[in-house]
Structure 1
Amino acid sequence: MNSNKFFEDYEKLKTVGQGAFGTATLYRRLNDGKQVVMKEVFLMDMDNSEKKSALNEVEILSNLNHPNIIKYLGSFQKEGSLVIIMEYADGGNLAQLINAKKHKNEIFTEKSILNILSQISAAISYMHTNKILHRDLKSANIFLNMNGNVKVGDFGISKMLNTRSQAQTVVGTPYYLSPEMCEGSDYNEKSDIWAIGCILYELACLRKPFEAMTLPVLVQKITACEYSNIPEIYSDELSQLVHSILQRDPVARPSAKYIHDTIVPKTAKKFEAQSAKISVSRERSILYKINNFGDDQQIIPQELPHKTIIDFSIGYSHSIVVTIDHCVHTWGENDFGQLGINNTQKQTFATIVKSLQHEKIIRCAAGRNFSLFLNAEGVVFSCGDAQQGCLGHGNWDSVQSPTIIEALMHEKIAKISCGDEHVVALSTEGRVFTWGSSKNGQLGQGHMQYRCSPLAIKLLNLTKIKDIFCGENETVLLTINGQVLVSGLNNYRKLGVADQEKIYLFTPVPIREKIKFVSIGLNHTMMLTENGVLIALGRNSEGQLGKGNFINYPQPQTIKLRNKITMIACGLNFTVAADNRNVVWFWGSSYKTYKNMPHKNSNSVLPLSKNRGEDTMIIKDFGIEESLDQFDSQCAKIPRSILAFYASPSNIKTGNVIYVGEIKIKAGNLYVLAHTTTPPPVKQFTDRDINKDTMSQIGGTTAAPTTLTSLPNMV
C-alpha cells in the first residue's frame, strides 16, 4: 500500500491516545466521511520482542470478525512505523462511562449491566473459540459507540493458543490480574473470565474490586479474593454471578460462552419478572415546606397531584408548579391575577391554569405578584402585576391571564428567572434580556429606571452566557467558561465586587473556579463549583457562610463539607445545602433558639434512628453533630444535618426510592422537592375535604388535601 497516497484520502481530526511506542489518531475518510482510528506503532524504538507483539496485534485483528470486537480495516508500514487502521468507537470507553456515573452520583441499572456483560462475553467467547486470549481486559479497553454497542479492543498483548498450550508471561493491568497470574503460575482463558468479573463488579460498584496503595498489597488481596459484596439494590442472581467468576479456582469459573448463553439470559429473565411486579410504581414528586429549623421543625407536604414535578417557583404571595405532563398549577394570593386563572380570587389549593394546558410549559418563575411561564418552543408568557414593568408587554397594565411577551418572539428563550421586581431571560444563542425595576442596578443596563419591555444586554468580548440566576435585587450571569458576571445590590460585598454598593453594569467577579450554580440571599451569596465545593461571599454575622465563626470576610471563602454538595440555597441570614447522599444541611440564623436542643453524639452524615424500619423513606434529625459550644442562642456557625432522604435496601430492591430533586428558600421557608417511586397514599375524602371550587380532578388524582399514610414515615 502506498502510504503517501493513502493519507491523501483522509483528513486528520485529533489524537485520541498516546503511549511510549506510538499514537492513536482519528481520521475522516474524505469520500464518505467515515471516521477511523490509525494506530501508529514506532517499530524503530522497539526491541525484537516488542516488534513481535505489535505484529501480533495485526495478525490477531485480521483474523477477528465479530460485531462486539473493534474491526480491523488494514495496515501498512511507513518510515519505521507500523500503522494499523481500525474501526472508531464514537462513544468513548467503559472506564469513562463509569467515571461519569460516579461523578454524577448515578448508578447503572441491572438491565444496563446485563446488556454490557452480554456483549463483552459474546466477544470473549468468540475469541476463546478461536484460541485467542485477550490478556488485558479492563474497562478502558471496552469501547462504546453512540448506539450503545460494546466493542472489545486493544489486542496488543493478546496471544494465540493451541489446544495444549498455556500462557506463562505475566502481562496485563494489575487491578485486573487473576490470582494465577499474580502467583506466576500457568494461566489460560479463565484469566480473561476473571477480568470480566472485575469489570462486572466495577459496573455494579463504580470501583474496582481490588484496590491498594502498593502492588504487594494489591497482589495479596487478589490472591486471597478479598472484596466486598455488590450493593443490595442488585438481584441475588447478579451477586451470585460476581462470586462465581471472582473465585480463586480457575476451573470453577464459568466460560465466556456459558456466561453469554446461559447465565445472562437466566438472570435477565428473573430481573424482568421482578420488574414486571413493581412496574406499577411510577415516579412522582412531593414538595415539602419546612418553616422552622430546630426542635420545633415542621415538614409539611404541599397538596399537589401525584405526578412528577419538572419545575416550581415560590413567590412571597403565590406558588407555581409545572408537572411532567406540562400542566401548570398555581395557588395563593391573586390580587393582580398572578395565578393566571383569569380572575383575582385567592386559591387555597393548587389550581390548573387552563389557558396554558396546550402550550407545553416547561419552566416557571414567580415574582412579587407576577408570574412567568416558558414553553418548549421558547415562548414566554406573563401575567399579574405590571406596575414595575415585569410583564414585559411594553406597558404598565396588569393582566389576569398568561399573555405572550411579543418582544421576545424573535428569540427562542431557554431559561427564565426573576427577582422581586425584575426579570431575566436567556436565549438558546446565549443572549440575555432584562426588564422590570433597576432601582438597585439589577437589570445591568447602567441605570436605575424601570423598563416595561425586554432589552438585550450588550456584554464585552461577545461573551456567551449559559445560565442566569436572580436574587431579590440582584442578577448573576454564568458564561460558557464558568466566569461570573454580576449586577444589583452589593451590600456586604455579597456579589464579590469591592467598593460598590450598587452595580449598574454587569461586572466580572475575580473567582478562578468554574461555577455552575449561584444562590443570592439577603446579605450573602453562595456559589457552587463544578467540583461540588462552595464559595461564600457577604455577611457572616449570623454564621451564614458556614466558617464556624461570625467574622465578616472581605474576600470569597471556600467551604467544604464531608460530602459533595449538589444543591445550595440562601435565605435571609442562613444557608441550606443538599449533598450527593440526599442529606440536607443548615447553617446560620433561623431566628430560633438552640439552647434547649437535645444533643446527639453522632458523626453519621445520615442522621440515625434507633428504630429505623425497613419501610422508612425519610428520616428527620434535630441532633447537633459536634458540640453545643458551636451554637450560640440563635446561630448555627457550622453546617449541621436537618433532614435526610433514605430508602432501605428492601425498598430499593422493590423499586421504591426517594431522592432530593431541588431546594429553594423564600421568606424564611425552605422548600424541598423530592422524587419518589412509591405508590401514593390512599385517602378517603369527607364532604368537608371536598371543595368543588378549588379541587382539581386530574387524571384520576386530586389536588385536595391528603394524609400521607405510606410515604414518608417520619422518625
Structure 2
Amino acid sequence: MSSFLDLYEPLDIIGNGSFGIIRKVRRKSDGAILARKELNFERMSERDRKQIVAEVNILKDLNHEHIVRYHDRHVDRDAGILYILMEYCGGGDLSTLIKQSQKHGRPIPEDTIWNYFMQILLALHHCHHPNGHSRSGSSGEEGENGHRRAQILHRDLKPDNVFLDDANTVKLGDFGLSKALAQASFANTYVGTPYYMSPELMQEKAYDSKSDIWSLGCLIYELCALKPPFHEAKTHSELSVFIRNARIPPLPRGYSQALAGVIKAMLNLNPAMRPSAAQLLQHERLELSFKVFETQKMYVISPQSDARLSAAETLPSGSPPRNRTNCPSKRGSAIWPRGRRDVRLSNRNMLR
C-alpha cells in the first residue's frame, strides 16, 4: 500500500464529502497534477458502494476531451480506504462561476455561455450516442477493453458537476448517479437534483437521454439568469406544479432570442419534442462556437491570459476552422434553419 501512496506527493485538500475527501496530488514520475478521491468505504452502505463502483466503471469507458478523465484506483482494505485518481480541474466548476457573477453583479457573456454549452453537448453526445460516428475529443466508440460501450445517462447534470480546467475547457464530471443502458432504452430509477430534474423523473416515469437535455436546459438558463428556472419553488410539490405549468421566467435583458429559443426547446414538457444532443449541435450558433473552439486549439494561448475571455475575443481573425467534420452537423439541416442569426427550431411544436 505504501508503494502506491509513495508514487504521489499529497498537496491541498480541495473537497470534502460524506465519505471522505478529494486531495490534489502531484505524480512524482512526471510532475502531473491529479485529483485523488480518498473514500472510506467501511462507512458506506451497500448502495453507496455499488454507486461508487458504477461511477468508476463508467468513467473507465468514457475517454473524451470534455469528460473528467479517470486515471487509476487502489483499495487499501486494511484502512478501509478507496483511492480514485482523476483528472484535476483547476478552473473550478460552473456553480462557482455563477456565484462569482452574482457577487460582482456581472452577467456571464453570451459568447461564453454558447462556448460552454457546445462543450457540454459534445460530452453528452459521447455519452448518449456511444456507437455513432467519432466526435471531437472522442477516442472512439469502444470501451477500455475493446467492448462496445453502453449508452450513458448522466442523470445529475447541474453547475456543480461541470468543471473547468486551467485552459477553461469544460469537463463533465461526477458520474455517481449515472446509469449505463446496455439494452433498454428507458430507465426507471428516481435520482437527480430537484431543481434540474426532468418532469418524467419527478413523476417517477420511464426516462431516457432526453431527461439529461431537460437538465441541460435548466443549467444553461441558470448561466444566463444566475439562478435556476424554478428557483421560487420552496417544496418538492411546489416545484412539480411550477414545472407542470411551465413557469419559466424570461431570460434577463441582453441575451438573444436564439439562446432563449434553444433553452425553451430543451425545457419542453414532452421528452420526445426535446432536441437531442446531436440535433442541438447542428444549431448555427453552436456550430460557430465549435469552429472557434477548434481554431483556438491551433494556437498557443498564454496561460497568463484571461481564461474567461469570450471565444470571439480570443479568436484570431480570418483563421480557418480545423477538422470541420468532427462536429455532428449537416449543412442545410431542417432542424436548425440557415441564413439568419435568430435561429429557431423549424418544428414549431418543439418551442411550445
TM-score range, shorter chain: 0.7 to 0.9
Partner of 1:155: 175
Partner of 2:37: 39
Judge conservation of contact 1:116–1:150 (CA < 8 Å) in 2: yes
Question: Aligned AA for 2:118?
Answer: S
Residues in 1 aligned to 2:223 and 2:153: alpha-carbon distance in whole angstroms: 22
Residues in 1 aligned to 2:226 and 2:262: alpha-carbon distance in whole angstroms: 17
Question: Aligned AA for 1:94?
Answer: L
Relative distance call for 1:266 and 1:26 in structure 2 (3 A) is closer
Judge conservation of contact 2:116–2:170 (CA < 8 Å) in 1: yes
Residues in 2 aligned to 1:71 and 1:261: alpha-carbon distance in whole angstroms: 26
1:49 is displaced (CA, Å) by 2.2
**2:246 aligned with 1:248:** no
Partner of 2:322: none
1:161 is displaced (CA, Å) by 0.3
1:84 is displaced (CA, Å) by 1.1
Match of 2:10 among 4, 9, 12: 12
Partner of 1:89: 89
1:266 is displaced (CA, Å) by 5.7
Aligned CA RMSD, in angstroms, stands at 1.6
Deviations 1:22-56 (A, max 9, x none): 32111112233211111122221223222111100
Residues in 2 aligned to 1:207 and 1:91: alpha-carbon distance in whole angstroms: 21
Question: Aligned AA for 2:189?
Answer: T
Residues in 1 aligned to 2:277 and 2:194: alpha-carbon distance in whole angstroms: 21
Residues in 1 aligned to 2:284 and 2:238: alpha-carbon distance in whole angstroms: 32
Match of 1:260 among 281, 286, 294: 281
Residues in 2 aligned to 1:32 and 1:164: alpha-carbon distance in whole angstroms: 43
Report sequence identity in percent: 38
Q: Does the residue aligned with 1:261 lie in a helix, a strand or coil?
A: coil
Deviations 1:178-228 (A, max 9, x none): 011111111111111011101110111111111122222122212322111
Deviations 1:371-396 (A, max 9, x none): xxxxxxxxxxxxxxxxxxxxxxxxxx
Residues in 1 aligned to 2:259 and 2:72: alpha-carbon distance in whole angstroms: 39
Question: Aligned AA for 1:118?
Answer: M
Relative distance call for 1:268 and 1:64 in structure 2 (3 A) is closer
Partner of 2:25: 27
1:86 is displaced (CA, Å) by 0.2
Judge conservation of contact 1:75–1:83 (CA < 8 Å) in 2: yes
Deviations 1:443-482 (A, max 9, x none): xxxxxxxxxxxxxxxxxxxxxxxxxxxxxxxxxxxxxxxx
Relative distance call for 1:123 and 1:24 in structure 2 (3 A) is same
Q: Does the residue aligned with 1:219 lie in a helix, a strand or coil?
A: helix
| TM-score where L is the length of structure 2 | 0.73
Partner of 2:114: 114
Partner of 1:209: 229
Gap regions ≥5 residues in structure 1: 270-715
Residues in 2 aligned to 1:266 and 1:64: alpha-carbon distance in whole angstroms: 23
1:122 is displaced (CA, Å) by 0.3
Residues in 2 aligned to 1:165 and 1:129: alpha-carbon distance in whole angstroms: 12
Judge conservation of contact 1:125–1:256 (CA < 8 Å) in 2: yes
Aligned 1:524-543 pairs, distance under 5 A: none
Q: Does the residue aligned with 1:113 lie in a helix, a strand or coil?
A: helix
Residues in 2 aligned to 1:54 and 1:264: alpha-carbon distance in whole angstroms: 37
Match of 1:198 among 218, 231, 234: 218
| TM-score where L is the length of structure 1 | 0.36
Question: Aligned AA for 1:4?
Answer: S
1:98 is displaced (CA, Å) by 1.0
Judge conservation of contact 1:75–1:85 (CA < 8 Å) in 2: yes
Residues in 2 aligned to 1:235 and 1:163: alpha-carbon distance in whole angstroms: 40
Q: Does the residue aligned with 1:218 lie in a helix, a strand or coil?
A: helix
1:267 is displaced (CA, Å) by 7.4
1:141 is displaced (CA, Å) by 0.4
Judge conservation of contact 2:281–2:287 (CA < 8 Å) in 1: no
Aligned 1:410-559 pairs, distance under 5 A: none
Larger Rg: 1
1:260 is displaced (CA, Å) by 2.0
Gap regions ≥5 residues in structure 2: 131-150, 291-352
Partner of 2:75: 77
Relative distance call for 1:263 and 1:189 in structure 2 (3 A) is farther
Judge conservation of contact 1:237–1:267 (CA < 8 Å) in 2: no
Judge conservation of contact 1:27–1:36 (CA < 8 Å) in 2: yes
Match of 1:134 among 120, 131, 154: 154
Question: Aligned AA for 2:259?
Answer: L
Aligned 1:238-637 pairs, distance under 5 A: 238-262=259-283, 264-265=285-286
Question: Aligned AA for 1:27?
Answer: V
1:146 is displaced (CA, Å) by 1.9
Relative distance call for 1:263 and 1:243 in structure 2 (3 A) is farther
Residues in 1 aligned to 2:19 and 2:105: alpha-carbon distance in whole angstroms: 36
Q: Does the residue aligned with 2:35 lie in a helix, a strand or coil?
A: strand
Judge conservation of contact 1:92–1:143 (CA < 8 Å) in 2: yes
Judge conservation of contact 2:69–2:87 (CA < 8 Å) in 1: yes
- Structure 1 ranges of 4+ moved more than 6 A: none
Q: Does the residue aligned with 2:36 lie in a helix, a strand or coil?
A: strand
Q: Does the residue aligned with 1:74 lie in a helix, a strand or coil?
A: strand
Residues in 1 aligned to 2:42 and 2:18: alpha-carbon distance in whole angstroms: 12
Judge conservation of contact 2:118–2:289 (CA < 8 Å) in 1: no
Residues in 1 aligned to 2:238 and 2:254: alpha-carbon distance in whole angstroms: 30
Flag the structure with higher helix content.
2
Residues in 2 aligned to 1:76 and 1:202: alpha-carbon distance in whole angstroms: 37
Residues in 1 aligned to 2:157 and 2:190: alpha-carbon distance in whole angstroms: 14
Deviations 1:600-647 (A, max 9, x none): xxxxxxxxxxxxxxxxxxxxxxxxxxxxxxxxxxxxxxxxxxxxxxxx
